[in-house]
Structure 1
């Protein structure tokens, strides 16, 4: 994702307008006056995590002084909160910054146990953290309410993750409420009538620690997430998009029904009809194509 734009001249002018000395700015940021001078003359560029305190030191808004075009990824959220990658060891309670580094580099997604800790430290919601994580993996997920760059496609389905872990997270984010790994495992096992899922396996699949799964596991997981195994293994972006759009519509209908339907101007008959059409769309999305058709 695009880093914040650093302008040495803009920093110099902002410091002078704030009537602050280089020594005062340096003390606030935690660097020497010589380092501030190097930044203002363009001989050096501040580390991204220093930009928030640097903007505050000259009494300017971060986005105004150091703007960024585009949506933030995990590294951007961390830097905007003023943390170096090394400092995330204390946030995750691990001996190394490995978990955060791997997620920022698009190698392995964060374990669920780290998400709330990092979200709190970064000053964002868990959902915002997950969206930023998807961007670190190459999926430019829009923020809620933003229009998608893809014409004719809703925000919820404009970008579909390519990995199994990404798809699981995508589906979890669209459920009405969070579901623990153990609950997903029990639900999936109950639907397929076999003990194929465990809480640990669900966690490993969700975080990317395990990248592939058997058909039986995918079938149980799909049932637990109210979708079809084709969402995980079709390899056809068009099929996956139909499935994802059907899921979004189903959740929207469920939300309307939970509010009573009439509140949104929908009768019980219309809600029943929509639910019937959603079920029909689900069946058609997973039905095998007749080669003679």
Structure 2
């Protein structure tokens, strides 16, 4: 069974990769040679057993003589990680761009810990094939601000996107949830916040980093509970693979963002009255209950 896998920035479909290769009458070894991996790795991608790193997608598209956007459509506007991946750079390789001993400057900006120093911007932008202004817009998105591209309309009314589809992977969900927070959190802050709320030393900064980047693909229920508490959400977002539950959670998060946007524009003067707040709280409560009940009903006896 093929998998449709959501990755931050682009959507990867194993079946599309397989069909594109067969249409061009290429062997897996032909594709592997261009990408710089083994034929077995290409086979794993085509069967959905694994997913290529985002920075390998441009070489995959090149190997198949396909347009990158057509083969791997973008999901939303690009952030810094997306620009790096589209340029084919691993995070480690970016130290060549900043001429530093580590990838720290780029890594810190991608994880919303510290913005790129001005001295690095031009070199990084040139390597990514974008302007400094485009680089800065992507950086703001990494810090949770969905800045539109020139000529695009501002974010939709009330600041909420109409797409209520959640990422499929654990790291994708963590990245998505971090973008919903009003202030960026470091891995250490997430760990401390989650541990405090569940009153147990469950999370560490290293574990959070591994889960957020995809280096750690699975976690125990205790870890997921603490992570959900730290990111102001329900553990069901991580535990349940049911499409209905995920839809309810996504719509609840979208509603939460709309409320925050209305409040930021003037509170009661913009219609955020006590009556409206009571209604919103009631509906959010119903949505959470419905998600939990739906999940319990689908659980095997």
TM band (smaller chain): 0.5 to 0.7
Structure showing greater radius of gyration is: 1
2:283 aligns with 277
Shift of 1:279: 2.4
1:232-275 Cα offsets, whole Å, 9 max, x none, are 12111221121021012123223433554222123222222212
Corresponding residue of 1:179:
185
* Residue in 1 that maps onto 2:176: 170
Distance (whole Å) between structure 2 residues aligned to residue 244 and residue 229 of structure 1: 13
Q: Which residue of 2 aligns with 1:224?
A: 230
Alpha carbons 1:185, 1:197 under 8 Å: kept:
yes
| Residue 166 (structure 2) aligns with | 160
- The answer to whether the aligner puts 1:124 opposite 2:124 as a matched pair is no
Q: Which structure 2 residue ranges, 5 or more long, are not aligned?
A: 1-9, 11-57, 59-68, 126-134, 145-151
Q: 2:208 aligns with which of 202, 205, 227?
A: 202
TM-score scaled to structure 2, two decimals? 0.52
Matched, 1:88 2:69: no
Retained in 2: the 8 A contact 1:250–1:275? no
- Residues 150-173 of structure 1: CA deviation (Å, up to 9, x unaligned): xxxx83544422211110001111
Q: Of 253, 257, 274, which aligns to 2:259?
A: 253
Question: Which residue matches 2:111?
Answer: 112
Partners of 2:264 and 2:180 in 1: how far apart?
16
Which residue in the other structure is 2:269 paired with? 263
Q: Sort the Cα spacing of 1:208 and 1:259 in 2 relative to 1 into closer, same or farther, 3 A.
A: same
The answer as to whether partners of 1:92 and 1:117 remain within 8 angstroms in 2 is no
1:241 pairs with 2:243: no
1:16-27 counterparts in 2 under 5 A? none
TM-score (norm 1): 0.53
Alpha-carbon displacement from aligned partner over 1:193-236 (angstroms, at most 9, x marks no partner)? 21101122112211112111110000010111111111112111
Please tell me whether the aligned partners of residues 197 and 229 of structure 2 are also in contact (alpha carbons under 8 angstroms).
yes
**2:221 maps to which of 211, 215, 218:** 215
Structure with the bigger RCO (C-alpha within 8 Å, sep 6+) is: 2
Tell me how far apart the structure 2 counterparts of residues 188 and 75 of structure 1 sit (CA, whole Å).
Answer: 25
Give the deviation of 1:76 after TM superposition: 7.9
Equivalent residue pairs, number = 200
Give unpaired runs (5+ residues) of structure 1: 2-47, 49-67, 104-109, 132-142, 148-153
